[in-house]
Amino acid sequence: MKVVIANGYLVDPAQQVNTGKNLLIEDGRVIGLLDRGEAMPEGAHILDATGLIVAPGFIDLHVHLREPGQEYKETIASGIAAAVAGGWTSVCAMPNTDPVNDNPAVTRFIIEQAERAQMANVFPIGALTKGSNGKELAEMGEMKAAGIVAVSDDGRPVPTAGIMRRAMEYARGFDLPVVDHCQDPSLSKGGVMHEGRWSLILGLRGMPAAAEEVDALRDCLLARMTGARVHLAHVSTRGAVEAVRQAKQTGFPVSCEIAPHHWTLTDEALESYDTNMKMSPPLRSREHVEALLEAMRDGTIDAIATDHAPHHADEKALEFDEAPFGITGLETAVGLAFELVHRGVISLERLVEMCATNPARIFSLSDRGTLAKNAHADITILDPECEWVFDVSRSKSKSRNTPFNGRRMTGAAVATIVGGRLVYLHPDYGRITESKYHEASVR
Amino acid sequence: MQTTFERKDLLGIRELSAGEITHLLDTAETFRDISRREVKKVPTLRGRTVINLFFEPSTRTRTSFEIAAKRLSADAVNVSVSSSSISKGETLLDTARNLEAMAPDCIVIRHSMAGAPHHLARMCKAPIVNAGDGAHEHPTQALLDALTIREHKNRIEGLKIAIIGDILHSRVARSNIYLLTRLGASVSVAGPGTLVPAEFAGLVDNGLSLEGRIEDAIEGSDVVIILRIQRERQDAAFFPSMREYAVHYGLRSEHLKYAAPGAIVLHPGPINRGIEISSEIADGGNSLILDQVTNGLAVRMAVLYLLSRGARSESPETPVEPRKQKRERRGSRV
């Protein structure tokens, strides 16, 4: 069936398109762009995107779907239902499941579960080392054949430069990007928040910015040494983005992502010991947030990724020291990104670049992150003016651990199309599916 | 000045105004006499229940709260739980709910984790008193230190106070810094660089300075507060040896020549003799370590009284007059 997404404003940085166009899709692929006046193909179904932004489907490079092993926190089905409700058409699943995704059987299981759920695309990330133990390399080649798009020991920082070097050298042979959660454990040990004035006030053990920066610098140097594609997960400090900026200027193959909470909140938010403010890397101080905003502005930061990390309410109801790290993020990221657009920090085009164009490039997701002819028909439809309040009780995720419940936001993903199928429609935007141009197209 | 204390809980000093602190100290002063009488008991909190919930070993603070409650005729119950057994079984949340179901009038909590009292305070209707949470705060210790200082120096404002030792891990140091600077004292802290992080200077807006050498911190001080080296917390190498610590950061008689004449020495206890403080000083004329313990009782009586007396608008003026108290109670029964 032919579908035309009509009257929208197309933003596709990959094609340098930023104009009013109609988008024609068929059988899960993009057929092409039509000019506004151009005749619609006969019998085409029309989606009316008047006043809306039509963008290539958003790709989240960093989520934790918890399945297999921790289905009480999230399942692949619930996780990707939350993803499409937040505007994400694809998510990349970190391997710290139980068992760890360090072999092709787990990889295949994840892909099959995702196909069964029929929501967002799921691209598994394989472990860097067996069991993410930081010692022996995992079977990257076998996992690549089964469908992984990158390798990482996220959450368990790679302990030594020696192992990281071998992993990069080996991953390079399979053209797999190496994703690192930069955190030197000898500096961050026992830490539960950013080390600084607020950790001293609260009497909580800190993780210094240097713990992240030492490893970020290490990884940049190893990227030069090995020539591997290195992607730094959730950068959160001034020094980390400076390391990436420097590496890019020198021409090393390094990229990085940022999580919305790191630009939205500061460590001061921990004053009430709210465990929904506990994540790793931790919320940083104002000076770091300023540096992150600058790095988003100047292009040092390539991608926005949620680090969606669901945890059960009982786990988050423990003492601050005992509660697990991490918050959910799939349904709030786009709203928080629009806050930056409205504040003039980034342009709408840059938002799309960080949520779609660049993520597809970084993980080599072919025919995604663009609406060029023959690309997958993964589409995120945005309303920059949609005013809404995030209500966690209506979240599609199985978990409720968010610091953003009740936050008023302007700008949202209002419809999500995956492989040509409309998989999410904001309840207030039924007009999108009313094919009032149907007659015109028949004529 | 503040003449009431309207908070539900006492979680820390940082959030208190100068008026609230002064009111707590004034109230404590009125309770001091009770412990000097032959019959050391007033019926002020008769029929009220105070639960001492201690997740961390403590002799002096727990005993102090228990005696304070008993001298006010409250029923005091001590619950000692090791933190490790909690992590194996019942959560703090469930413990709190169970205790709450027994309708206590006040819960005193000591916990090795910062923020545990705040966690409890969100869940419980009963007032919560923080008796020390991790490296966060120990408000009654700061109040008893201040009461001791006021007793001997007649004021806090304008005094110069040195705090020496392991600031990083010390909840006593934090509560003291907040309290003393809020009441107008200037505080200098000194200790090994590993235990006095530079960011500490930003803890309060005014009145705090960091010094490298203890002599510089003590220079001209009216009060010297020595912190305990918490050997149990020294899991990482913060200094090379106890011997070296004692040589460079232990307080000995020779240091007091830098202090102002008549300077007093405080220590929250228990002391490590010969490490952070020499016996000569601990047992000498400048030391008020035992006065601190006595004042601790008065402070805890005041805190328990102000938080668990029930109706918060009740006048706090007459806590030490058992007869008058009785009359009021009779009157209210009519």
Give the separation between CA A369 and CA A111, rounded to whole angstroms. Answer: 20
* Per-residue pLDDT at B314: 44
Q: How far is B40 from chain A (nearest CA, A)?
A: 37
* B307 located within any domain: yes
A204: how many CB neighbours lie within 10 A of its CB?
Answer: 27
pLDDT at position A440 is 40
**So what's the pLDDT on residue A32?**
95
Query: Would the CB atoms of A203 and B203 count as touching at under 8 Å?
Result: no
Question: Domain count of chain B?
Answer: 2
CB contact (8 A) between residue B113 and residue A317:
no
Classify residue B10: in a domain, yes or no: no
What is the token pair recorded at B261?
């004449």
Q: Residue A21: which region, alpha, beta or left (left: phi > 0; alpha: psi -120 to 50)?
A: beta
The alpha carbon of residue A122 is apart from the nearest alpha carbon of chain B, in Å, by: 36
Distance from CA of B23 to the nearest CA of A (A): 24
Interface test with A, best of B118, B171, B189, B208 (most A CBs within 10 A): B118
Burial profile B133-147: b = 16 or more Cβ within 10 angstroms, e = fewer = bbbbbbbbbbbbbbb
B85 vs A65, residue with greater confidence: A65
Distance between CA atoms of residues A142 and A147, nearest Å: 9
Asked if residue B144 and residue B55 are part of one domain, the reply reads no
Strand order in the sheet with A22-26: A29-34, A22-26, A2-6, A45-48
In this structure, of A47-61, A173-187, A420-434, B175-189, the range with the lowest mean pLDDT score is A420-434
What pLDDT, on a 0 to 100 scale, did the predictor assign at position B88?
59
Whether B4 is in a domain gets the answer: no
**Residue B1 domain flag:** no
Residues B225, B306, single domain; the answer is no
| Across A366-390, average pLDDT | 97
List the structure tokens of A107: 């990889």
Ramachandran category for residue A4: left, alpha or beta (phi over 0 → left; psi -120 to 50 → alpha)? beta
Phi-psi region of A218 (alpha: psi -120 to 50; beta: other; left: phi over 0): alpha
CA distance A358 to A415: 21
Residue at token pair 């597809």: A360
List the single residue in A with minimal CA-CA distance to B168.
A200
Go through chain A and tell me how many residues it has: 443
For the stretch A73-109, pLDDT in tens is 999 999 999 999 999 999 999 999 999 999 999 999 9
Cβ(A158)–Cβ(A128) under 8 Å? Answer: yes
- What local confidence, expressed as pLDDT, does residue B2 receive? 60
Residue A110 pLDDT exceeds 80:
yes
Encode pLDDT of B132-178 as tens digits: 999 999 999 999 999 999 999 999 999 999 999 999 999 999 999 99
Q: Residues B112, B195: one domain?
A: no
Taking CA–CA distances from B88, the nearest residue in chain A reads A322
**Which stretches does DSSP call E strand in A117-252?**
121-126, 150-152, 178-180, 193-194, 206-207, 230-232
What are B11-34's pLDDT values in tens digits? 999 999 999 999 999 999 999 988
Look up residue A362 and give its amino acid.
Answer: I
- The domains of chain A are located at 58-334
B194 to chain A, closest Cα gap in Å: 13
* Rounded-to-integer distance, Cα B132 and Cα B108, Å: 9
Name the residue range of residue B77's domain.
18-136+295-323
Point out the residues of chain B with pLDDT beneath 70.
1-3, 82-88, 232-236, 310-334
Q: What ipTM was estimated for this complex?
A: 0.88
Domain shared by B36 and B171, yes or no: no
Cα→Cα distances B77→B26, B48, B107, Å = 27, 11, 10
What's the confidence (pLDDT) of residue A168?
97
Do B199 and B252 belong together in one domain? yes
Q: What is the pLDDT of residues A299-351, one digit of tens each?
A: 999 999 999 999 999 999 999 999 999 999 999 999 999 999 999 999 999 99
Instruction: Judge if B198 and B309 occupy the same domain.
Output: no
Of A200, A317, A321, the CB nearest to B93: A317
Q: Give me the residues paired with residue A34 across strands.
A: A22
- Tens digit of each residue's pLDDT (9 = 90 or more) over A230-252: 999 999 999 999 999 999 999 99
Q: Do B119 and A320 touch (CB under 8 A)?
A: yes
List the catalytic residues of A: 307
Length of chain B: 334
Q: Are residues B144 and B273 in the same domain?
A: yes
Looking at chain A, the whole-number percentage of residues with pLDDT higher than 90 is: 93
State pLDDT tens for residues A194-212: 999 999 999 999 999 999 9
Query: Are residues A254 and A280 in contact, defined by beta-carbon separation less than 8 angstroms?
Result: no
The two three-digit tokens of residue A349, written as one number: 């085009």
Taking an 8 Å cut-off on Cβ atoms, the answer to whether B174 and A197 are in contact is no
Residues B234 and B272 in one domain: yes
Q: Is the dihedral of CA A17, A19, A23, A28 positive or negative?
A: positive
Q: Which residues of chain B make contact with A319, given a CB cutoff of 8 A? A: 92, 111, 113, 115-116, 119
Q: Is B272 left (phi over 0), alpha (psi -120 to 50) or beta?
A: beta
Question: What CATH number does domain A58-334 carry, 3.50.50.60, 3.40.50.2300, 3.20.20.140, 3.30.479.30?
Answer: 3.20.20.140
Q: What predicted TM-score, i.e. pTM, was given to this entire model?
A: 0.92
Same domain? For B204 and B236 the reply is: yes
Most A CBs within 10 Å: which of B136, B166, B167, B204, as the mutation test of the A interface? B136
pLDDT tens per residue, range A210-220: 999 999 999 99
CB-CB neighbours of A104 under 10 Å: 18
Q: Does A441 score more than 50 pLDDT?
A: no
Name the least confident of A4-13, A18-27, A280-289, B235-244.
Answer: B235-244
Burial of A224 (0-12, 13-18, 19+ CB in 10 A): middle
Q: What is the mean pLDDT of chain A?
A: 95
Statement to judge: residues B112 and B221 lie in one domain: no
Tell me, yes or no, whether B146 and B224 share the same domain. Answer: yes
B133 chain-A contacts, CB cut-off 8 A: 203
Residue A10 has pLDDT above 70, yes or no: yes
Residues B247 and B147 in one domain: yes
Q: Tell me the CATH number at B196.
A: 3.40.50.1370
